[in-house]
């Protein structure tokens, strides 16, 4: 438990550090050196267009990241009778209290609260993912993967121009790291260039992980399930996939796709149901 609590503090700081390094490399290294075209007008220059794209992806990723933290799942333990020792033990065991009729509720030891439609605990946000912040979490994963892909492409273009190498061969990227390590220790490669090469593999790993996580989460939403329900083997009521999507994303889903906003519509609907 101590290791998990430590990870719950270190992981968000690690993500913010990676985000800051990515922003500095893109704005001050990649864009000024790789996207200069004097023949185009300043309004439609490649540097300006790529910078606007990167800022759009970054703003959505960080904006939804903040909303995931702010839109914490409600602590249902305040409204439930959890004073008896047997019921508290049921919550601590991760099972549902016999005296409650709320589906897929779960007590998280790290958050110390009971949440409805609990999906999982995200260490990179230091928060539980539930009904209130599921949409922002999916948008966070989506835009983080796109921002990493954008940084990966820009970084490869920078390394290709700096080291005069080509990535036309698919094996070139796989052999880049071991070849760069040998060059670095032999003194033929600068530390800044080696740092960018390491960041390429980090962006690739984070981007693939977030994309896979987003696709898996969307599949569960279409089925009307949460990860906690799948892990516990809970049977859910079959509903049309459109209703499952609307429950998470709301009717104004396009607005949340373009800008980071809280799903106010779903929150109001849940309060009315109470």
Active-site annotation, residues:
122
Of 190, 205, 206, the C-alpha closest to 158 is 190
Helices (H), ranges, 26-169: 31-34, 46-70, 85-92, 134-162
- The packing angle between helices 134-162 and 241-249, to 10°, is 80
CB atoms within 10 A of CB 151: 26
**Residues whose CB falls within 8 Å of the CB of residue 57, separated by 6 or more in sequence, listed in order:** 143, 146, 147, 150
β-partners of residue 115 are 106
Backbone angles phi, psi at 6, to 5 degrees: -65, -40
Bridge-based pairing of strands 113-115 and 120-122 is unpaired
Instruction: Report the chain's C-alpha Rg in angstroms.
Output: 23
Cα Dmax for the chain: 75
């Amino acid at each position: 438990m101590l290791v998990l609590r430590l990870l719950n503090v270190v992981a968000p700081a690690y993500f913010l550090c990676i985000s800051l390094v990515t922003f500095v490399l893109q704005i001050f290294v990649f864009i000024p050196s790789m996207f200069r075209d004097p023949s185009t007008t300043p309004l439609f220059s490649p540097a300006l267009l790529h910078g606007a794209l990167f800022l759009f992806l970054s703003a959505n990723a960080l904006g939804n990241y903040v909303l995931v933290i702010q839109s914490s799942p409600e602590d249902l333990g305040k409204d439930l009778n959890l004073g008896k020792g047997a019921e508290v033990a049921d919550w601590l065991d991760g099972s549902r209290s016999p005296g409650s009729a709320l589906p897929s509720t779960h007590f998280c030891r790290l958050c110390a609260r009971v949440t409805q439609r609990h999906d999982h605990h995200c260490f990179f946000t230091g928060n539980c993912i539930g009904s209130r912040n599921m949409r922002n979490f999916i948008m966070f994963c989506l835009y983080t993967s796109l921002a990493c892909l954008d940084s990966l492409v820009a970084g490869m273009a920078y390394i290709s121009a700096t080291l005069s190498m080509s990535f036309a061969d698919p094996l070139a990227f796989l052999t880049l790291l071991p070849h760069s390590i040998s060059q670095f220790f032999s003194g033929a490669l600068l530390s800044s260039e080696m740092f960018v090469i390491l960041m390429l593999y980090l962006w690739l790993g984070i981007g693939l992980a977030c994309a896979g996580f987003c696709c898996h989460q969307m599949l569960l939403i279409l089925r009307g399930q949460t990860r906690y329900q799948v892990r516990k083997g809970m049977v859910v009521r079959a509903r049309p996939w459109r209703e499952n999507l609307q429950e998470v994303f709301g009717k104004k889903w396009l607005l949340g796709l373009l800008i980071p906003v809280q799903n106010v519509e779903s929150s109001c609907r849940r309060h009315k149901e109470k």
